[in-house]
Amino acid sequence: MNYYVMTLFPEMIESCMNTSILGRAVEAGHIKLEVRNIRDYTLDKHKKVDDYPYGGGAGMVMEAEPVYRCFESICSELGERPRVVYLTPQGQVFRQEMAREYSAEKSILFLCGHYEGIDERVLEEIVTDYVSIGDYVLTGGELPALVMMDAIARMVPGVLNNDVSAQTDSFSDGLLEYPQYTRPVEFMGRSVPDVLLSGHHEKISNWRQEQSEIRTRERRPDLYEKWKTENLS
Ligand code: 6GU
């Protein structure tokens, strides 16, 4: 899996992608990451990448040219036009099914905007997918790109130690995950449920399924209704 990121804040992407499970996935070669600073592609002698919006209004708009030149350089390296994801609150809201679909792509290029956005003309030229991570407004596309890369990466074979956990985690079967416990067996007067100490695998598995259903019904009634219509019909 190849991730390309076009951004004005490469260190934001690099620092997160060097850490924890994602860092190990990059280190181990399960994921290849290429971060490009859009500012390196401006022809302006002062390295300016933004300008005032035509028609007036607050803030600055990222210019088309540096974004396009950055895109072209990545395309010539790849020898093809990759899927280009533009992170914007105006996009389709990112979901687990989308993470699974993207994990089958060979390359994904993430375009991170800042300020009041990017000149519409370069978006029309290069963007294939407009994606949002939820209904709230962030200062830029870097955190959303990292959220997407994390969710996609964990679906890529080899990234998680245990192949099963990507499949059994919350959402993958439409239910939230059951509660987990580790030692000690008692903490502040609260004990680990007896069934988990029983060694009886079938009882444990039934208990976990039941807990997932209860938890989903209580915390995410919307997901629970959807799961019920898909599983109890
Ligand atoms: Cl993808 N970008 C920005 N700037 N804000 C967001 C978002 C994306 N998704 C939710 N809020």
Q: Which tens digit of pLDDT belongs to each residue from 140-169? A: 999 999 999 999 999 999 999 876 667 657
pLDDT score, position 168: 55
Q: For the chain, what is the radius of gyration of the CA atoms? A: 22
For ligand 1, pick from 6, 85, 86, 88 the residue to mutate: most ligand atoms within 8 Å of CB: 88
Q: Which residues line ligand 1 (CB under 6 A)?
A: 87-89, 132-134, 136-138, 140-141, 144
Whether residue 170 is predicted with pLDDT greater than 80 in this model: the reply is no
Does the pLDDT at position 210 exceed 60?
Answer: yes
Q: pLDDT at position 31, please?
A: 96
| Whole-number pLDDT of residue 16 | 96
| pLDDT for res 171 | 77
Ligand 1 mean position to 158 CA, how many Å? 29
pLDDT for 172: 67
Q: Residues with Cβ < 8 Å from 188, sequence gap 6 or more?
A: none
Q: Catalytic annotation on 65?
A: no
Catalytic annotation on 154? yes
Instruction: Please tell me the predicted confidence (pLDDT) of residue 167.
Output: 62
What pLDDT score was predicted for residue 164?
A: 61
Task: Return mean pLDDT, the chain.
Answer: 95
pLDDT digits (tens, 9 = 90+) for 51-109: 999 999 999 999 999 999 999 999 999 999 999 999 999 999 999 999 999 999 999 99
Tell me the residue ranges of DSSP E strands in 188-226: 190-191
Prediction pTM value: 0.95
Does the annotation mark 119 as catalytic? no
Position 201 scores a pLDDT of 98
Closest CA relative to residue 140, chosen from 85, 201, 87 = 87
